[in-house]
Structure formats: C-alpha cells, structure tokens
Chain A
Amino acid sequence: KQEVTQIPAALSVPEGENLVLNCSFTDSAIYNLQWFRQDPGKGLTSLLLIQSSQREQTSGRLNASLDKSSGRSTLYIAASQPGDSATYLCAVYRGGGADGLTFGKGTHLIIQP
C-alpha cells in the first residue's frame, strides 16, 4: 500500500526566506506526482505536476523536483510572501485510472510579515 509522508508537518518563517518542503513515498511505481495548495476551509489548488519521467517542474517562484527511485520530491519556494501561507499537500498517482491520488497529511506553512 502506498504511503506518503510530508516533513515538516508545520513551518513558520519570516517573509523573504527561501524554503523547502519535503515529500516521500513508499512505492516508486508512480505515474505522476502533484503538489497542491489548500487554504483553510477551501478546496485544493494544483501548483505543479511532475510526470514520472521528469526530474523537475517550475512555475514562477515554485520549483518541484522528483527522484522516483528514492521515493522523494521537494517543493522549493523562493522569496516567500505572506500570501504563501497555506497547507501544502503532496500526492502521487499510480496510473491506470485506479485508486485516485494518495496524499500526505500536508505541511502547514506560515509566512510571518
């Protein structure tokens, strides 16, 4: 059974810092990996998707990397802003339409002004 772990569970940093969120998964047979953002009481916003054949994806101040063989992904946020405060979720997809996404519990991020 696939298990996804996110470290740290919570993080509070001053505005302007660069930071790294970590995600690990136990079964490397994945089709893709998605990073999401979730604001309190809201749905999920897709940030980045990395296919299993890719090593990284970038969008603005966000960069996500994937090391499938070691079962790890990182989300790098550059020059953090208070508006980045949210819970960040990592999810893996096995493919074939089955089982949907398997999520970690998320990293709760607070950016202090």
Chain B
Amino acid sequence: DTGVSQNPRHKITKRGQNVTFRCDPISEHNRLYWYRQTLGQGPEFLTYFQNEAQLEKSRLLSDRFSAERPKGSFSTLEIQRTEQGDSAMYLCASSPLAGAIHEQFFGPGTRLTVL
C-alpha cells in the first residue's frame, strides 16, 4: 500500500489552456474525493466518486471542470480554458467503502499555476 498518489505534482500553464490531473487512490478504496485549496484556506470539496459513479458535485465545480473515474480505479480532473483564478492546490483523497469509519487519506496534491 503506497498511499494516494497524484500526478503531476506541479503544473504551470497559460490562461486558456486545458490541463488534466491524475489521482491513483489506495488500492481497494471505493470512494474518491477531489478538493481544491487556495493559499491560507482549508481545502474545499469539489466532487466525489463511489466506484465509477460520480455521486456529488459542488457548486464550485463550474462547467469548465470535469472529473472521471472510468474503471473505478484512478480518476482524472480536467480543467478547460484555465483562468488565473484556477491557480490552487488540487487534492485527491480516498476512503474505503467497507466499514463505518470513513477516514479519508489524502495525496500530495497537484499545484496548478495559471499565468
């Protein structure tokens, strides 16, 4: 068990470009979450998957954002037509479906800078 991994760790892009981030959860964790964190703030929930189904989306997730988890394993988060306000740390977390604890384990994050 190597923990939650995210790639890339850093991404610098120009305004208007599309970017895609990947998250690999802890194996056998059915639940996968995406969060966004800006400087000096706590993470904010974006979206949640249970297996391959996207069950919840925050109002923060504009139509330029799309997330997928095609086979219920890794997930991707795509931002189209990036804006400077999208600059943030994007965090992924996973938790097991079985059991009642629902503890979430976070990856190292992808830091996005939009120039």
Q: Which residues of A contact B (CB under 8 A)?
A: 4, 31-32, 34, 36, 41-46, 49, 51, 89, 91, 93, 95, 97-106
Among candidates A4, A46, A51, residue contacting B106 with C-beta atoms closer than 8 Å: A46
Distance, CA A10 to CA B33, complexed state (A):
28
The answer for the CA separation of A106 and B42 in the assembled complex, in Å, is 6
Given contacts A32-B101, A103-B44, A106-B42, contact A98 B56 (CB under 8 A): yes
Number of interface residues of B (CB under 8 A): 30
Contacts of A106 in B (CB 8 A): 42
Taking CB atoms, residues of chain B closer than 8 Å to A45 are: 106
Q: Which of A41, A43, A51, A103 is the one whose CB lies under 8 Å from B107?
A: A43
Distance of A66 Cα from B6 Cα, bound (Å): 32
CB of B103 within 8 Å of the partner chain = yes
Which of B45, B50, B101, B105 interacts with A100 by CB under 8 Å? Answer: B45
> Does B85 count as interface, using CB distance less than 8 angstroms?
no
Taking a contact as CB atoms closer than 8 A, the residue among B46, B58, B101, B109 that contacts A43 in the complex is B109
A-chain residues with CB within 8 Å of residue B103 when the two chains form the complex = 32, 34, 46, 49
Beta-carbon contact of B42 and A100 below 8 Å? no
A89 close to B42 (CB less than 8 A): yes
Is B102 within 8 A of A32, CB to CB?
yes
B31 located at the interface, meaning its Cβ lies under 8 Å from any Cβ of chain A in the complex: yes
CA distance A105 to B109 in the complex (A): 17
Query: Could you show 18 A-B contacts with beta carbons less than 8 Å apart?
Result: A32-B102, A43-B106, A44-B91, A44-B93, A45-B106, A49-B103, A51-B100, A51-B101, A93-B102, A97-B48, A97-B50, A97-B56, A99-B48, A99-B58, A100-B35, A100-B48, A100-B56, A100-B104
- Contact yes or no, B41 A105, CB < 8 A: yes
Q: In whole angstroms, how far apart are the Cα atoms of A104 and B43 in the complex? A: 8
What chain B residues lie within 8 Å of A91 (beta carbons)?
42-43
Interchain CA distance A93-B31 in the complex, whole Å = 14
CB proximity of A51 to chain B, nearest CB, Å: 7
